[in-house]
Structure 1
Amino acid sequence: MSERKKLLILVGPTAVGKSSLAVEIAKRFDLEVISGDSMQVYQGMDIGTGKITEEEMDGVQHYMIDVMPPDTTFSVHQFQHHVEDLIDEFHEDARTPFIVGGTGHYIRALIYGYEFDEEDDEEKRRLTSHFEKLATPVLHNQLQSIDPKSAEEIHPNNRKRVIRALVKHELSNRISNRTGPGYTDEMKYDTFIVGLTRNRKVLHERIRKRVEKMFEMGLEAEVQKLLDNGPLSKTASAAIGYKEFLPYFEGHGSLDEVKEAIIQHSRQYAKRQLTFFRNQLPVTWYDLDVVDTDIILEDIYQFLQAKER
């Protein structure tokens, strides 16, 4: 059996500090970064996605950023194929691919080699059709039983969102549990996943400061410009930092309410990210409030130098 090629991955919740550490790691080991973020692929969605700037890149090449117009849908399937091609190119040049991001489903599909097919789209349509036949109170009760957090966040009468949440939950479970032609138990690559975390209160404060900085940088104008240029795709319009503005631009609520909604949604998303990473991926965790980054760099060095275990 041939030795698997190496793959280095850096994950963590939003605002934990992935981008800056990624640049430090890349410069230390002469690597280039492949973004594993589902929203940073969109052109013009810069401030709200926390997209790294040219200055912050500090000369480090970044891939999978600004590759799609915001009126197009970008799926986990497309991500998998784009990044697999990049990984092959890196390995052909004897370079180690370095993926940085917080979109867990994208990374899981990549490293476990899930094979997507038309059945997934058909399953989504079938589930949607099934749920649309049920009464709204029944739907919300179902959501309450399987995902209390989402049920709490979604109004019981918001039928469309309840159905979407149910479909998403069902698809996620079915895809995550597949083996054989879908997910396998063995990773395609010799993979080291570095996970960053922080104290919950510290992370929450970092999220608040990050959102406040986004508003100072002109987030409102960025969203307005995107909407002026035409409708966003369903994927792009669901992005945190953008969807919260839609009621505001229709004359509902204040800018402060938009800001607080973004902060709240970002904190909830960070929690979901951590839950996914801990349950679905073999991550080696580092608490940035406690661990010196030199320890992380040393562990990465050992991984890059070692033969496959």
Structure 2
Amino acid sequence: MSEKKKLLILVGPTAIGKSQLGVEIAKRFNLEVISGDSMQVYQGMDIGTGKITDEEMDGVQHYMIDVMPPDTTFSVHQFQKHVDEIIDEFHEDGRVPFIVGGTGHYIRALIYGYEFDDEDDEEKRALTERFERMGTPILHSRLKSIDPKLAEEIHANNRKRVIRALVKHELSDRISNRIGPGYTDEMKYDTFIVGLTRDRKLIHSNIDARVDKMFEMGLEDEVRNLLQHRSLSKTAGAAIGYKEFLPYFEGEASLNDVKESIKQHTRQYAKRQLTFFRNQLPVKWYDLDSVNTDIIFEDIYQFLQAKERKKND
């Protein structure tokens, strides 16, 4: 049996400093960064996604950023396919791939080698058949409880669209949280996952400060420009920092309402991220309130050195 190839991953909730530490790790160990963020793939969605700037990259090559126009859908399956190819290229060159990001189910699908096509097609058919047996009012009521805004957009009697939306939601939810069928029991790679955490109040404070800075940088103009010149896909349009502006542009909310909504949704997202990482991935956690980053560097060094020792034995 061939030796598994190395893969280094850095995860943590939004606004905890993953991008900055990722650059420090990359420079220290001569690595390049693969973004594991589901929204930073979109061109033009820069401020609202907290996308790392060229200056912040400090010469470190980053992959999977600005690779898709915002009017296209980008799925976990596409992410897995793209990043698998990048990882293979790294391994062929004898380099260790380094993923930095916070989209947990994307990373989980990647490292556990989730197989999508056949099984998901079968599940999709089964879900469709199940919903087809339900009455139209019940279906629309179910969609309203899941996604009130989408339910408003789809007429209650448009049975086909309602069922399609329900199937998409449930299938996505199952993929995101699936344990068992579809995933292998062991990881495809010899993986070391560094997880960053800290006191929740500090995370919330960082989130509030980041959102305030986004507005100072021109987030309103960025979103307005995107909506005026591009048709955002449902995936891109659902991004936190963008969807909250719709009531404002329609005259139904103030700019301050938008800002507070973004802060609230981001705090909720950070909580979901931590829950997912803790329950679904084998993470080694580092509390930034009590652990010096030198400890993280040392543990990464030991992980990378283990590869060299095996190679040289």
Q: Which TM-score applies when normalising by structure 1?
A: 0.88
DSSP-derived class of the 2:243 partner: coil
User: Structure 1 pair 257/136, CA: closer, same or farther in 2 (3 Å)?
Assistant: farther
C-alpha deviations, 1:230-262, integer Å up to 9, x for none?
Answer: 210010000000000011111111000000000
Q: For 1:215-226, what aligned pairs fall within 5 Å after superposition?
A: 215-226=215-226
DSSP-derived class of the 1:102 partner: coil
Deviation at 1:120, TM superposition (A): 2.0
Deviation at 1:106, TM superposition (A): 0.5
2:209 is matched with which residue?
Answer: 209
Q: Distance in 2 between matches of 1:160 and 1:184?
A: 39
Structure 2 residue 69 is matched with structure 1 residue 69: yes
User: Structure 1 pair 66/155, CA: closer, same or farther in 2 (3 Å)?
Assistant: closer
What is the one-letter code of the residue matched to 2:109?
A
DSSP-derived class of the 2:235 partner: helix
What is the one-letter code of the residue matched to 2:174?
N
What is the one-letter code of the residue matched to 1:188?
K
1:178 is matched with which residue?
Answer: 180
Q: CA RMSD in A?
A: 2.8
Query: Do 1:6 and 1:191's aligned partners in 2 also have CA atoms closer than 8 Å?
Result: yes
Q: For 1:8-27, what aligned pairs fall within 5 Å after superposition?
A: 8-27=8-27
DSSP-derived class of the 1:51 partner: coil
Deviation at 1:156, TM superposition (A): 11
Query: Do 2:84 and 2:110's aligned partners in 1 also have CA atoms closer than 8 Å?
Result: yes
Query: Do 1:137 and 1:156's aligned partners in 2 also have CA atoms closer than 8 Å?
Result: no
Query: Do 2:123 and 2:171's aligned partners in 1 also have CA atoms closer than 8 Å?
Result: no
C-alpha deviations, 1:173-223, integer Å up to 9, x for none?
Answer: 3661233xx210110000000000110000000000000000000000000
DSSP-derived class of the 1:203 partner: helix
Deviation at 1:123, TM superposition (A): 3.4
Task: For structure 2, list consecutive stretches of 5 or more residues without a partner in the other structure.
Answer: 155-161
User: Structure 1 pair 78/245, CA: closer, same or farther in 2 (3 Å)?
Assistant: same
2:189 is matched with which residue?
Answer: 189
Q: Distance in 1 between matches of 2:301 and 2:188?
A: 21
What is the one-letter code of the residue matched to 2:192?
F
What is the one-letter code of the residue matched to 1:258?
V
1:103 is matched with which residue?
Answer: 103
Task: For structure 1, list consecutive stretches of 5 or more residues without a partner in the other structure.
Answer: 144-149
Deviation at 1:5, TM superposition (A): 0.4
| Number of residues of Structure 1 aligned to a counterpart in Structure 2 | 299
User: Structure 1 pair 156/87, CA: closer, same or farther in 2 (3 Å)?
Assistant: closer
Q: For 1:239-278, what aligned pairs fall within 5 Å after superposition?
A: 239-278=239-278
Query: Do 1:131 and 1:139's aligned partners in 2 also have CA atoms closer than 8 Å?
Result: no
Q: Distance in 1 between matches of 2:70 and 2:205?
A: 29
Query: Do 2:194 and 2:283's aligned partners in 1 also have CA atoms closer than 8 Å?
Result: yes
What is the one-letter code of the residue matched to 1:107?
I
